[in-house]
Amino acid sequence: MSFESIPKILEQLQIETLYQQQPLQRLLDCWEEVVGKVIATHTQPISIEREVLWVATSGAAWAQNLTFERQKLLKKLNQILPTPLVDIRFSTARWQRTKKKPLRQQNISSAEHPSYLGNIVDRNQNIHSLPKNPHTAFADWSQTIKRRSQSLPLCPNCESPTPGGELERWGVCSICAARSF
Ligand SMILES: [Zn+2]
């Protein structure tokens, strides 16, 4: 083997690798155009394995709805792709939370807000974990408030849960303190 042939082999390997990656790359380039902007934000094409496209979705409802739509999507995609796909599988399993970083940060700050009502705004959550109706949503919320107040010390005067800072300052809760002024 001559030294010259090594770069040539490497070049050939590179071309082969590129060729194998190409269908997915090509698909990623046109994905938003095919499915539309809204679906594109809730989906992430992961891989093409044996002519089956695997797509991660942000939630179970998206996976379910898109599964019903997949024949229409296949038709559109096969007009663009060099090698036709036989099927598309949608699953939440490989959804990358990191892709939605700005949204996650927003969720964290809303969860810290005192009037936060649970998982309603968390798009990464499975839809089945959402409260079923306003009644259960309220029950969840009051449970959270109850848990939160149980960890607070009690005011020695009226026995209501009181932030430690208030007890330190006045020896009673702010309401009792206001009454004594
Ligand atoms: Zn009090």
Confidence of residue 85 (pLDDT cuts 50, 70, 90): very high
| Cα 110 to middle of ligand 1, angstroms | 29
Q: What pLDDT score does 2 carry?
A: 58
Q: Are 158 and 173 in contact (CB under 8 A)?
A: yes
The whole model's pTM is what? 0.45
- Which residues have C-beta within 8 Å of that of residue 35, sequence separation ≥ 6? 43, 73
Q: Are 95 and 56 in contact (CB under 8 A)?
A: yes
Q: Give CB contacts under 8 A, 24+ apart, made by 144-149.
A: 144/118
Residue 11 clears pLDDT 50, i.e. is over it: yes
Polymer length of the chain: 181
Q: What pLDDT score does 123 carry?
A: 46
pLDDT single digits (tens) 97-141: 655 444 444 444 555 554 444 544 444 444 555 667 878 888 887
| Cα 156 to middle of ligand 1, angstroms | 7
Q: Are 124 and 61 in contact (CB under 8 A)?
A: no
| Cα 99 to middle of ligand 1, angstroms | 47
- In CATH, what is the architecture of 5-95? 2-Layer Sandwich (3.30)
